[in-house]
Amino acid sequence: MTSNYILAPILVQLVTAILLIFFWQRVTVQRVLSTVGNTFSFITSLILAIDIWNFGTQTLHAGNWQPPFGITFVCDALSATLILLTSIVGLAVGLFSTIGISINRIKYGYFPIFHFLLMGLQGAFLTGDLFNLYVWFEVVIISSFVLITLGGKKMQMEGAIKYVTLNILASTIFLTAIGISYGLTGTLNMADLAQKIALVENRGIVQVTALLFFVAFGIKAAVFPLYFWLPSSYHTPPSAIAAIFGGLLTKLGIYALIRMFTLIFIPDDYTINLFIIIAIMTMFTGAFGMMNKKSIRKVFSYLIVCHIGYLIAGLGLYTEKSLSGTIFYLIHDIIAKSNLFLIAGLIYKIRSSTDMRRLGGLYKDYPLLSILILFVLLSISGVPPLSGFWPKLNIISEALRSGNYTLVFSIIISSFVTLVMIAKVWAEVFWKPTPKDHPEQDDTFAPLSTFKKVTMILPVFLLAFISFMIAMRPGTFMNLSDKIANELMHSDDYIENVFRVKNIQN
Amino acid sequence: MEILLVILVGILYAAGIYMMFRRSMVKLLIGLLLLGNGTNILIFLMGDIAKGKPPIIAPNTSVFTDVYADPVPQALILTAIVISFALQAFAIILLKRVYQMTGSDDLDSLNTNDGDI
Amino acid sequence: MKSTIFKVAANYLLPLLLLFSVFVLLRGHYESGGGFVGGLIASIAFVLHFFAYGLESARSFFRFSTATLIPIGLSISLFSGILPMFAGKPFMTSLWFKKPVAIIGSVGTPLFFDIGVYLIVVGVTLTILFTISENVK
């Protein structure tokens, strides 16, 4: 199947961004337009996703060039699912931003950049061309650089330096790896590369290239030795920005890893061992890193690192079942992590602080909201019937089957630490009585009009509802991730889909 | 010719990474610039160098009759240069702002928010 | 800069460079050139004027902010990409008029794409330069 429709999510974001630049500095117009654009994006992505789930992979050769020469866009079930998740998170965070982002930031172009970021993400999930993937990555990181520095407080700038440096370094390594793989095979089309890389006789250099890709995407995904930029920068920008970063940017690295290592570089024993070791180290650094942190946003940042470990573990086990676990966890994690940072934003709005020592008594003041937040927190920690539990179960059972008890042990320990920390956050922020030295007038949430309050809580509720749906119907999502994992493990279909489509004759 | 470029790529990578390990922000920036240039030359090398054979087809023919330079690496480098231009311009402005705010060129002095919060 | 020679030269160079930039833009599809280079040459023309006569004088060429060129250019490029989709072809397929127009040569969607790029480059370069030189004062 070939269809122009698969580009719709990208184009909707691009058109929205262009329109928003025309209305530079008009705050109300920006807010309304962005929400309308996000709604459109959600609808188009949903239609695309349903279409792809039902009728299989679609491809598009931009400019009508034959496959290995032009840029190919491929939308398989994984891409479609991630595109849908991106636009859901985009809708929620965009809605939250209309109130949660200060007017000054909106005047400096928050919304156009936000939509360029989303466009970059959609493009990266869609593309079937290695260099094009690099370009989309750059679109994403340049937008994220602007977002992380927007507003220009000292703390933000300090975080931004680490973020910018490491991301530019990762891009350089990525580009180096692309250069070497082009030198080896003479192609950049991922499907073509998958076929030709298998024919390269010098396996050593293929291994090195694969590891270069792993390092590049590993920095972006914040895996073990290269994670430190994340906790020292993600707590500095406003919560809405941190939500989109925490929910989607690290997951872009994971997506690229999954794509690379299922399609092009099929892992051998060495790579698999490396993945498992790195996954275990990532879980432990994330889990133990958050134990002594006092700011809830720092805790949440380490939580991201910790859970990246699970995703890498599922990829590292490299069976269909474990990949399915990774995909399922990815779905759960994108929704829940974005929600987590939105919640941190709400708490900051209510108490003007994210320091656990200065917070308290939220349950007394906002009981219903607290229950909603509790549900999200428990979903994250993977308490049995909730959404974080099912994918973890998949990964653990697969690790048990392959006899990798160290991994099982690490997952259980880090889940336990996560649970303890979440319980601590709940006790400190919600149950503990309000500290004496904390005056009530810091509440910037209560004076807002009801409309604004609803606009801020609605996104949290929306994302929580999706988490709830995952918890209620785990079978549906399990089937979906099984289907995606099946497609990933049988990459012949992907390759065939790219090459089968004939050009439309003039 | 190629061996010279290979050595140059090595030097640029080594110098770039060495500079990135220094504590000064300006040296960090120079390191990033050198790494970017090294990568571009690496891609150029990967496309096999054909001297004086531009990949342009003469008006009266429709296929190449001779060896020609691979245009793809050149397109890649052009794109990469434009992108790294943007990234580096951004990094320069960012470093300038940080220098104005902290009054220091030392990367180790940027840890005010890494304390226990 | 206060040199009279430079000022006079800049006066003559501005229209020449602008014409040259359009020439580079138009020959871009089959020969070396294109929207990106053309845009850079055009912005160099304004930058020369800015060096000779100062920021205010260079700005007065534009009735609106130079940043406005960016979304206009983006829209033109995007439009040229979307146009073939209405003809049932994949995104960004080149569509050409059968007969070449005098002077300009063949007209098609790649030309519009290049015009968009040209405007974006002029807009971005001038906006960056003007903003930085404003801050330097």
**Going from the N-terminus, what domains does chain B have, and what CATH number goes with each?**
2-54+67-106 (1.10.287.3510)
The whole-number pLDDT of residue B117 equals: 47
For chain C positions 12-51, those within 8 Å of chain B (CB to CB) are 32, 36
Give the CA count within 13 Å in the CB-facing half-sphere of A382: 25
**How much of chain A, in percent, has pLDDT values that exceed 90?**
54
The residue of C72, C79, C92, C95 whose CB has the most chain A CBs within 10 angstroms, and thus the best one to mutate to test that interface, is C92
Chain B residue numbers touching A142 (CB-CB < 8 A): 83, 86-87, 90
Q: Would you call C92 and A15 a contact, using CB atoms and an 8 Å cutoff?
A: no
The residue of A65, A155, A176 whose CB has the most chain B CBs within 10 angstroms, and thus the best one to mutate to test that interface, is A176
Q: What are the tens digits of pLDDT across the range C50-99? A: 988 888 888 888 888 888 899 999 999 999 999 888 888 888 888 888 87
Name the interface residues of A facing B (CB cutoff 8 Å).
Answer: 131, 135, 138, 141-142, 145-146, 149, 152, 154-155, 157-162, 164-165, 168-169, 171-172, 175-176, 178-180, 182-183, 188, 232, 235-236, 292-295, 298, 355
Q: Would you call A169 and B42 a contact, using CB atoms and an 8 Å cutoff?
A: no
Q: Would you call A169 and B32 a contact, using CB atoms and an 8 Å cutoff?
A: yes
Residue range B44-63: mean pLDDT, rounded: 79
Residue range B34-63: mean pLDDT, rounded: 83
Chain A residue numbers touching B109 (CB-CB < 8 A): none
Look at residue B58 and give its three-state secondary structure.
coil
Q: How confident is the model at residue B2 (pLDDT cuts 50, 70, 90)?
A: confident
pLDDT of A122 higher than 90: yes
**Contact between A176 and B39 (Cβ < 8 Å):** yes
**Contact between A185 and A258 (Cβ < 8 Å):** no
Nearest C-alpha of chain A: how many angstroms from B57?
Answer: 17
Domain boundaries, chain C: 4-136
Residue range A162-175: mean pLDDT, rounded: 92
Q: How far is CA A216 from CA A176, A222, A262, in A?
A: 10, 10, 17
pLDDT of B32 higher than 80: yes
A vs B: CB pairs below 8 A: 99
B vs C: CB pairs below 8 A: 3
C16 lies within 8 A of chain A by CB:
no
Q: What are the tens digits of pLDDT across the range A59-109? A: 888 888 888 888 899 999 999 999 999 999 999 999 999 988 888 888 888
pLDDT of A505 higher than 50: no
C-alpha–C-alpha distance, residues A185 and A201, integer Å: 11
Residue range A446-461: mean pLDDT, rounded: 87
Which value, in Å, is the radius of gyration of the alpha carbons in chain C? 17
Q: How far is CA A80 from CA A7, A50, A123, A141, A259, in A?
A: 11, 8, 11, 22, 14
Chain C residue numbers touching A2 (CB-CB < 8 A): 90
Q: Would you call A18 and C78 a contact, using CB atoms and an 8 Å cutoff?
A: yes
Q: How confident is the model at residue A218 (pLDDT cuts 50, 70, 90)?
A: very high
Instruction: Tell me which residue of B6, B4, B38 sits closest to B19, measured CA to CA.
Output: B38
Backbone phi, psi, residue A127, to 5°? -70, 150
The whole-number pLDDT of residue A409 equals: 92
Give the CA count within 13 Å in the CB-facing half-sphere of C132: 13
Nearest CA in chain C to A506: C89
Residue range A390-405: mean pLDDT, rounded: 90
Outline where DSSP puts E strands in A277-361: none
Residue range A307-323: mean pLDDT, rounded: 91
B47 lies within 8 A of chain A by CB:
yes
Q: Would you call A504 and C90 a contact, using CB atoms and an 8 Å cutoff?
A: yes
CA A22 to chain centre: 29
pLDDT of A502 higher than 60: no
Nearest C-alpha of chain B: how many angstroms from C37?
Answer: 12
Chain B residue numbers touching A182 (CB-CB < 8 A): 43, 46-47, 72-73, 76
Q: Would you call C78 and A14 a contact, using CB atoms and an 8 Å cutoff?
A: yes
Q: Which residue has the tokens 């109300």?
A: A28
Of A135, A158, A172, the CB nearest to B113: A158
Residue range A201-205: mean pLDDT, rounded: 89
Nearest CA in chain C to B79: C36
Query: Which chains border C (3 or more CB–CB pairs < 8 Å)?
Result: A, B
Chain A residue numbers touching B6 (CB-CB < 8 A): none
Of A164, A183, A235, the CB nearest to B94: A164
B89 lies within 8 A of chain C by CB:
yes
Q: How far is CA A129 from CA A258, A342, A447, B116, C56, in A?
A: 15, 34, 50, 43, 45
B81 lies within 8 A of chain C by CB:
no
Residue range A124-151: mean pLDDT, rounded: 92
Q: How far is CA A245 from CA A118, A194, A233, A305, B19, in A?
A: 11, 30, 10, 13, 29
Nearest CA in chain B to C121: B82
Find all residues with CB under 8 Å of C64, minimum gap 6, and list them.
none
Nearest CA in chain B to C32: B56
The whole-number pLDDT of residue A466 equals: 93
Nearest CA in chain C to A3: C90
Nearest C-alpha of chain B: how many angstroms from C4?
Answer: 32
pLDDT of A506 higher than 50: no
Instruction: Tell me which residue of A427, A495, A500 sits closest to A195, measured CA to CA.
Output: A495
Residue range A324-338: mean pLDDT, rounded: 93
| More confident of the two residues A441 and A390 | A390
Nearest C-alpha of chain C: how many angstroms from B57?
Answer: 10
The residue of C91, C109, C113, C124 whose CB has the most chain A CBs within 10 angstroms, and thus the best one to mutate to test that interface, is C91
What the block records as the tokens of C42 is 């055009």
Residue range A277-297: mean pLDDT, rounded: 90
Backbone phi, psi, residue A59, to 5°? -130, 160
**Contact between A135 and B83 (Cβ < 8 Å):** yes
Q: What are the tens digits of pLDDT across the range B92-115? A: 888 888 888 888 888 777 776 555
Find all residues with CB under 8 Å of B13, minimum gap 6, and list them.
B34, B35, B38
What the block records as the tokens of A333 is 């994690």
Chain A residue numbers touching C75 (CB-CB < 8 A): 18
B110 lies within 8 A of chain C by CB:
no
Q: How confident is the model at residue A180 (pLDDT cuts 50, 70, 90)?
A: very high
Nearest C-alpha of chain C: how many angstroms from A132?
Answer: 15
Chain B residue numbers touching A152 (CB-CB < 8 A): 97
For chain B positions 7-46, those within 8 Å of chain A (CB to CB) are 20, 25, 28, 32, 35-36, 39, 42-43, 45-46
Instruction: Tell me which residue of C13, C120, C29 sits closest to C77, measured CA to CA.
Output: C120
The whole-number pLDDT of residue A146 equals: 92
Chain B residue numbers touching C36 (CB-CB < 8 A): 82
The whole-number pLDDT of residue A442 equals: 67
Residue range C33-49: mean pLDDT, rounded: 91
Q: Is the ipTM of this complex over 0.95?
A: no
The residue of B112, B113, B114 whose CB has the most chain A CBs within 10 angstroms, and thus the best one to mutate to test that interface, is B113
Q: Which helix (H) or strand (E) holds A74?
A: strand A72-75
